[in-house]
Amino acid sequence: MQEAATPTPVKAKKDAEWMAAKLAYIRGLKSPSAQQKLFDALAQIKNRNALQVRQFAALVKAEKLEDRAADIRRKGEQLLTEKEDAERARKARTRQLVALGGLIAKAGIDAWPTDRLLGLFMAAARGTDEQKARWSTEGAQALASLAKK
């Protein structure tokens, strides 16, 4: 039987921190599982016999695997949330583009060639604040009259 490799001081510290956090978590549970209760009980034994050492090692491994599984589940949920957010943003952008297309149709310029439309939009973007204010007023009046129809 091979001897276990001696952990480095950094790994030993990390393991001790994990153990302390895990025990605090388990002790804070209202209804820990039988496995968690045994884990806690074995953790409190200073001089474990060979069977207890094997049991404790198996429980540590099981708890670490459970932690990894929980992390993977959280990452999966995060990916789904990000995908849903991207889908909502894409749909919002599509609604915005459809609304802009509707405005172009309401203005009666939907048959214009795209280069002329782009030129018009570029000229409008360079307009003065006074021109933009006038266009806003005219647009609001046109939308109000269309809404009445």
pLDDT of residue 3: 54
Can you tell me the distance from the alpha carbon of 11 to that of 1, in angstroms, rounded to the nearest whole number? Answer: 23
pLDDT of residue 99: 94
Residues in contact with 112: Cβ distance below 8 Å, sequence separation at least 6, in sequence order: 120
pLDDT at 26 over 80: yes
Q: Kindly list the distances between the CA atom of residue 84 and the CA atoms of 47, 73, 87, in Å, as whole numbers in the listed order.
A: 52, 16, 5
As a whole number, mean pLDDT of residues 80-109 equals 95
- Pick the range with the lowest mean pLDDT from 11-20, 66-75, 104-113: 11-20
Instruction: Extract the tokens encoding 2.
Output: 């091979």
Can you tell me the distance from the alpha carbon of 117 to that of 94, in angstroms, rounded to the nearest whole number? Answer: 19
Confidence of residue 123 (pLDDT cuts 50, 70, 90): very high
pLDDT at 11 over 60: yes
Percent of the chain residues topping a pLDDT of 90: 84
- If one compares 43 and 2, the residue with the highest pLDDT of the two is 43
pLDDT at 130 over 80: yes
Q: Kindly list the distances between the CA atom of residue 26 and the CA atoms of 30, 34, 40, 41, in Å, as whole numbers in the listed order.
A: 9, 11, 7, 11
| pTM above threshold 0.75 | no
Residues in contact with 62: Cβ distance below 8 Å, sequence separation at least 6, in sequence order: 35
pLDDT at 120 over 80: yes
- Pick the range with the lowest mean pLDDT from 10-24, 55-69, 104-118: 10-24
Would you list the domain boundaries of the chain?
A: 9-110, 112-149
Mean pLDDT of the chain: 91
As a whole number, mean pLDDT of residues 24-38 equals 93
Task: Decide if 38 contacts 46 (C-beta within 8 A).
Answer: no
Task: Decide if 43 contacts 56 (C-beta within 8 A).
Answer: yes
